[in-house]
Chain A
Amino acid sequence: MSENHKIIEIEVLRYNPESDDEPHLEVFKVPFSDDMSVLQGAQYIKDNLDGSLTFRWSCRMAICGSCGMMIDGIPKLSCETFLRDYYPKRIRIEAMAHFPIEKDLVVDLSGFIAKLESIDPYIIPKEPRTLEQGEYLQSPEEFNRYIQFTSCINCALCYAACPQFGLNHEFIGPGMMALVQRYNLDSRDGGSAQRMQLVASEEQGVYHCSAVGYCSEVCPKHVDPANAVNVNKANAAKDYFLHFLSPKGGSK
């Protein structure tokens, strides 16, 4: 930060659970250089203007998925969003939409984590193999089927973009469905039927999605979670009808 600094106004949605009944906006004047991210703007505020400002961050390079926030109303990772792109206008940062605000820019992700556990996000081997039988082999074609869905960093921006999740917190949501696809499409995995219980569930399942598609639009890793959700609508329907034909098919 050497060259002559410009000053940008950052408007922050503040909420202190110990003293506030509801969130309010507070404006800070932040000197910035062209290489400064919105996250660095928040860090400047915390270090120099108000030490009580609370937010999450870790890697600063769009891989940890911690620093998501609403930037001028759009869910973005603050580490890869630059102040220069908003100057000279005032920029507004708020906690990720649709999640309860814990404090300032920090949201309560406990529901998100509970869902993450509920989908069995690991490979459930199709057939048990002993060490002597060697490793599970996979062709490049089989690998390509799911590789896109491995890019998810659990940043939850897709949930902040999903009005159906905002209206119904039970909905399993886009990010989880991307992870379901990551494992269901893996040739080594045999857990699809087990995961279908949740995918097709009336309370939480994919049919709560109305194909708004904004989740895929905001995904910083181009995972296309909307595709994972919508493809599974067809899978859930197929599973439902299979249930009538075969005692083995169908999850319910």
Chain B
Amino acid sequence: MSTRKPYVRSMDGWWKKNPYFVEYMVHEATALFVAAYVLVLLVGVIRLGQGETAWNGWLAAMQSPVSVIAHLVLLAGAVYHTYSWFKILPMTMPPVVVGGKKMAPEALTGSALIVAAVAGLALLAVVWRIAL
């Protein structure tokens, strides 16, 4: 008779057991920050459709101190989300070969972050011009 009795360990609370997993969960959770801001903008579009008074009310709400703080929190979440996704970018794409050599993961992450920063600033400049 076999005396085998393999023991299967529980996975309860797995993500709290390793700092790497905690970081993974934070990076996944910051997607909710991005989603929250999408909702804020969506409400703005709906208010715009409801006429001038509704739109001006939304604009005023956006300028309240609570809204400014919320914007800063959501921005921090979105920036971390961007950073943490681009950090794992090299492991999600086929190797990029430049001049016969594989691009280093750090170079890929760095390039993606630079592109994201430039795109973000360009968008800000465009919106700024329209707003003024």
Interface residues of A (CB under 8 A from B): 15, 17-18, 22-23, 73-74, 97-98, 100-102, 108, 141, 163, 166-167, 210-214, 216-217, 224, 226-227, 230-231, 234
The one of A101, A163, A216 in contact with B21, judged by C-beta atoms closer than 8 angstroms, is: A163
B127 at the interface (CB under 8 A from A): no
The one of A22, A73, A213, A234 in contact with B17, judged by C-beta atoms closer than 8 angstroms, is: A73
Interface residues of B (CB under 8 A from A): 3-9, 11, 14-15, 17-18, 20-21, 24, 28, 88, 90-95, 100
Residues from chain A with a CB closer than 8 A to the CB of B20 are 212, 214, 217
B90 touching A108 by the CB < 8 A rule?
no
Q: How far is the CA of A224 from the CA of B90 in the complex (A)?
A: 10
B94 touching A213 by the CB < 8 A rule?
no
Q: How far is the CB of B125 from chain A (nearest CB, A)?
A: 32
B91 touching A166 by the CB < 8 A rule?
no
Residues from chain A with a CB closer than 8 A to the CB of B93 are 227, 230-231
- 21 inter-chain pairs at a CB distance below 8 angstroms, sorted by A residue, are A17-B4, A17-B6, A23-B9, A73-B17, A98-B9, A141-B100, A163-B14, A166-B11, A167-B11, A167-B14, A212-B24, A213-B24, A213-B88, A213-B91, A214-B20, A217-B20, A226-B88, A230-B93, A231-B92, A231-B94, A234-B94
Q: How far is the CA of A234 from the CA of B9 in the complex (A)?
A: 33
Known: A73-B17, A163-B11, A166-B14. A227 touches B92 (CB 8 A): yes
A15 touching B7 by the CB < 8 A rule?
yes
Beyond known contacts A213-B88, A227-B91: 16 more, CB 8 A cutoff: A17-B3, A17-B6, A18-B5, A73-B18, A74-B18, A98-B11, A100-B8, A108-B6, A211-B91, A212-B20, A213-B91, A214-B21, A224-B91, A226-B91, A230-B91, A231-B93
B9 touching A212 by the CB < 8 A rule?
no
Q: How far is the CB of A174 from chain B (nearest CB, A)?
A: 10
Known: A163-B11, A166-B11. A230 touches B92 (CB 8 A): yes
Residues from chain B with a CB closer than 8 A to the CB of A210 are 28
Q: How far is the CA of A216 from the CA of B94 in the complex (A)?
A: 15
A17 touching B5 by the CB < 8 A rule?
yes
Known: A213-B88, A226-B91, A231-B93. A22 touches B18 (CB 8 A): no
Q: How far is the CA of A244 from the CA of B14 in the complex (A)?
A: 40
Residues from chain B with a CB closer than 8 A to the CB of A100 are 6-8
Residues from chain A with a CB closer than 8 A to the CB of B21 are 163, 212, 214
Q: How far is the CA of A74 from the CA of B20 in the complex (A)?
A: 10
Known: A73-B18, A217-B20. A18 touches B6 (CB 8 A): no
